[in-house]
Amino acid sequence: MPELKMDDTIAAIATPLGEGGISVIRVSGPKTFEMAGKFFHPVKKANFADFPSHTIHLGEIRTLEGAAIDEVLLSIFRQPNSYTGEDIVEINCHGGMAVTGRILDLLICGGARHAEPGEFTRRAFLNGKIDLTQAEAILDLIKAKSGRSMEVAIRQLAGTLSQKFKTLKNELMSIYAHLEAYLDFPDEHLEIYSDQEIIKRLEVVRGEIQKLITGFARGSMIRDGVMAVITGKPNVGKSSLFNALLERDRALVSEFPGTTRDRLEEWIDIAGFPIRLVDTAGLASNLNHPLEQMGMAAARQSLNQAELTLYIVDSSIPLDEEDGLVLKAIDFKKPVLVLMNKCDLPQKLDEEKFASLLENKKILRISTKTREGFDQMEKNIAELILGKSVELESEQITRLRHKNSLQEAAEALTRTKDFLTRKESFELITLELKTALESLQELIGEVYSEDLLDVIFAEFCIGK
């Protein structure tokens, strides 16, 4: 992407395209008021330049020739007290592709430029309104698929994580400044901390960083979700379970074995955690139709990718050899929850024998018809993916970028400590400490490259 100009005026539709109650068009930049003023005609005949910041005005959008386009509400935010830190107007017009598109066209003709994805937030970052971790949190909040993902994102947006990073950085900065002063003025008899004192302080920072890194697995699970695959023989109730967890009839269900052939997937929220739930074709040895075989191949592929397997059997019929085929296809080293479905019907499955084949995996009786066992099932799913404790740390990292920067910092701190212990030269020691410091600065965006910003903001939608 060519380098973005940041001193021009941008415009975009900030709401999803399509029909809706209202749509919002956002304009930001130095010529915002001049451009909007060409097309906006307030009901109260006031001058645009006199509108105070943070006020809303009723009026009409008209073409330069005077043709009315829509009746709108226009909000004004004057720099620096706005989302981007620049002059902003937000036009609330009637939701609809034609009206919204037309107003945006007028603004573009009036000299605004189409905003790139995330450009409003990028400007907010570049103007110092938010740091990089908060910009990422905004994106996570928009994309949050569950209550917990939302909770973590809103905490990061409020700045708890940035604050933590900054505290760690400031501590390193203070040690660094101390060592530098000693390096620059070795003859001044500055009071110097002992190596032991410095090592102790470095260890505290490294320990904190390590704790954040350890929390990453859980954090990324909260942000990106876990893939849970439903598997079993044909007709055991896989699609019924899929629908019941989704609480709508998404997959076809029938009394005929072989109903599902394609892989279906949907996001669900279990105990606040996002789960990518996958319904698959049944596994059987007697499938001859090429379509059935394709379905089974796709099912096996999904099973390989599963982070959690929901293995379901029909407890109203006895076990047979076909169950052996499914058992062989499941990787019991990964988390597996075994579900004996159709517990509302007379039970014919020998549970003791079945349990002996399952490598001590948890077995639960459920009915997708009556929802018996569902509360326990949801609890077990949450436990299987998160361990016993499902509480969140107050500072939780969720992004690989954060983990990588913290890892670099931790490694540089280990080297700093080793050099100090071995009484290496001060130059070498401060060089390593500086590497750790820079990793933390990159994390919050105190130092950044345009390429990094391009990667981060490309994930955003246009208008944010």
Ligand X SMILES: Nc1nc2c(ncn2[C@@H]2O[C@H](COP(=O)(O)OP(=O)(O)OP(=O)(O)O)[C@@H](O)[C@H]2O)c(=O)[nH]1
Burial 58-69 (b: 16+ CB within 10 A, else e): ebebbeeeeeeb
Instruction: Find which of ligand X, Mg ion, none residue 342 binds, CB within 5 to 8 Å per kind.
Output: ligand X
Of the CA atoms within 13 Å of residue 243, those in its CB half-sphere come to 16
In contact, 220 and 386? CB cutoff 8 Å: no
Instruction: Find which of Mg ion, ligand X, none residue 240 binds, CB within 5 to 8 Å per kind.
Output: ligand X
Instruction: Pick left, alpha or beta for residue 385 (phi over 0 → left; psi -120 to 50 → alpha; otherwise beta).
Output: alpha
In contact, 140 and 149? CB cutoff 8 Å: yes
Is-cis flag, bond preceding 80, omega within 30? yes
Instruction: Find which of ligand X, Mg ion, none residue 11 binds, CB within 5 to 8 Å per kind.
Output: none
Q: Quote the least distance from Cβ 376 to Mg ion, whole Å.
A: 23
Return the residue of 116, 224, 266, 344 that touches ligand X, per CB under 6 A.
344
Closer by beta carbon to Mg ion, 325 or else 382: 325
Q: How far apart are CA 375 and CA 368, in angstroms?
A: 12
- Counting contacts by CB under 5 A, is residue 121 touching Mg ion? no
Region binding Mg ion by CB under 5 A among candidate stretches 79-87, 230-238, 318-326, 424-432: 230-238
Q: Quote the least distance from Cβ 240 to ligand X, whole Å.
A: 3
- Counting contacts by CB under 5 A, is residue 239 touching Mg ion? yes
Return the residue of 28, 341, 416, 439 that touches ligand X, per CB under 6 A.
341
In contact, 62 and 69? CB cutoff 8 Å: yes
Closer by beta carbon to Mg ion, 239 or else 302: 239
In contact, 171 and 379? CB cutoff 8 Å: no
Containing H/E element for 273?
Answer: strand 273-279
Closer by beta carbon to ligand X, 209 or else 264: 264
Q: Select from 302, 240, 306, 226 the least CA-distant residue to 269.
A: 226
- Tokens representing residue 205 in the block: 């920072």
Q: What is the DSSP string of 391-420?
A: PPPSS----HHHHHHHHHHHHHHHHHHHHH
- Counting contacts by CB under 6 A, is residue 253 touching ligand X? yes
Binding mask 248-287 for Mg ion (x = CB under 5 A): -----------xx---------------------------
Q: Quote the least distance from Cβ 278 to ligand X, whole Å.
A: 12
| Binding to ligand X in span 392-411, by CB under 6 A | none
Region binding ligand X by CB under 6 A among candidate stretches 102-110, 337-345, 376-384, 421-429: 337-345
Q: How far apart are CA 318 and CA 151, in angstroms?
A: 45
- Tokens representing residue 132 in the block: 């990089």
| Binding to ligand X in span 227-246, by CB under 6 A | 232, 234-240
Binding mask 304-323 for ligand X (x = CB under 6 A): --------------------
Instruction: Pick left, alpha or beta for residue 233 (phi over 0 → left; psi -120 to 50 → alpha; otherwise beta).
Output: beta
Q: Using the 8-state DSSP alphabet, how is residue 306 labeled?
A: -
Instruction: Find which of ligand X, Mg ion, none residue 344 binds, CB within 5 to 8 Å per kind.
Output: ligand X
Closer by beta carbon to ligand X, 165 or else 311: 311
Region binding Mg ion by CB under 5 A among candidate stretches 56-64, 239-247, 375-383, 403-411: 239-247
Question: Which residues are at the interface with ligand X (CB under 6 A)?
Answer: 232, 234-240, 253-255, 257-260, 281-282, 341-342, 344-345, 367-369
Residue numbers of the site for Mg ion (CB under 5 A)? 238-239, 259-260
